[in-house]
Chains A and B, each alone.
Chain A
Amino acid sequence: MPDAAAAARRVSSWRQFKAILRKDIVMELRTKEMLTSMSLYALLTLVVYQIALSQSGSGFDIRLIAAGLVWLAFVFTSMLGLNRSLVHEKDQGCLEALLLSPVDRPVIFFAKSIGNLIFLLIVEIITVPIFAVAFMSGRPIAGPFWMIVLSGLVGSIGIAGVGTFLATMAVNARGGSFILSVLFIPLMYPALLAAVAGTSAAVLGGPGYVDMFWRSVGMGAGIDAIMLLAVYGLYEFIVSA
Chain B
Amino acid sequence: MTGDSSPALAVDVEGLVRAFGARKALDGVSLRLPAGAFLSIFGPNGAGKTTLLRVLTTLTNPSKGSVKVAGLDVVADAVELREKIGLISHNPLLYPDLSAEENLLFFSEMYGVEEPATRVRELLAAVELDHRRFDLVRTFSRGMLQRLSIARALLHRPEVLFLDEPYSGLDPHAADILDSLVAQVREQHTFVMVSHDLAKGLELCTHALILAKGRVVFFEPRENVDETAFAALYRSTVGLGVA
Chain A residues near B (Cβ < 8 Å): 1, 6, 9-12, 15-16, 18-20, 23, 26-27, 30-31, 88, 91-94, 96-104, 240
Complex alpha-carbon distance, A96 and B83, angstroms: 15
Minimal Cβ-Cβ distance residue in B for A104: B79
Name the B residues within 8 Å of A104 (CB-CB): 79
Name the B residues within 8 Å of A92 (CB-CB): 91-96
Cβ–Cβ contact B97 & A100, under 8 A: no
Total interface residues on B, using CB and 8 Å? 33
Q: Is the interface of B mostly helix, strand, loop or mixed?
A: loop
Cβ–Cβ contact A93 & B110, under 8 A: no
Cβ–Cβ contact A16 & B95, under 8 A: no
Cβ–Cβ contact B92 & A16, under 8 A: no
Cβ–Cβ contact A19 & B87, under 8 A: no
Name the A residues within 8 Å of B195 (CB-CB): none
Name the B residues within 8 Å of A31 (CB-CB): 97
Complex alpha-carbon distance, A208 and B86, angstroms: 61
Cβ–Cβ contact B102 & A26, under 8 A: yes
Cβ–Cβ contact A98 & B59, under 8 A: no
Q: Does B230 contact A (CB under 8 A)?
A: no
Complex alpha-carbon distance, A69 and B133, angstroms: 47
Cβ–Cβ contact B106 & A23, under 8 A: yes
Chain B residues near A (Cβ < 8 Å): 57-61, 79-80, 82-87, 89, 91-98, 102, 106-107, 109-112, 114, 152, 157, 159
Given known contacts A19-B106, A100-B57, A102-B83, A11 and B112 CB-to-CB distance under 8 angstroms: yes
Task: Tell me the smallest distance from the CB of A158 to a CB of chain B, in Å.
Answer: 28
Name the B residues within 8 Å of A97 (CB-CB): 87, 93-94, 107, 152
Cβ–Cβ contact A96 & B110, under 8 A: no
Task: Tell me the smallest distance from the CB of A213 to a CB of chain B, in Å.
Answer: 41
Cβ–Cβ contact A88 & B83, under 8 A: no
Cβ–Cβ contact B82 & A102, under 8 A: yes
Complex alpha-carbon distance, A93 and B50, angstroms: 14
Contact of A11 among B58, B111, B152 (CB under 8 A): B111
A-B pairs with beta carbons under 8 Å apart, 15 shown? A1-B159, A9-B112, A10-B83, A11-B111, A16-B109, A23-B98, A92-B92, A93-B91, A97-B87, A100-B85, A101-B82, A101-B107, A101-B110, A240-B59, A240-B60
Task: Tell me the smallest distance from the CB of B175 to a CB of chain A, in Å.
Answer: 20
Complex alpha-carbon distance, A101 and B158, angstroms: 11
Name the B residues within 8 Å of A12 (CB-CB): 112
Name the A residues within 8 Å of B114 (CB-CB): 9
Task: Tell me the smallest distance from the CB of A77 to a CB of chain B, in Å.
Answer: 21
Contact of A27 among B80, B91, B95, B112 (CB under 8 A): B95
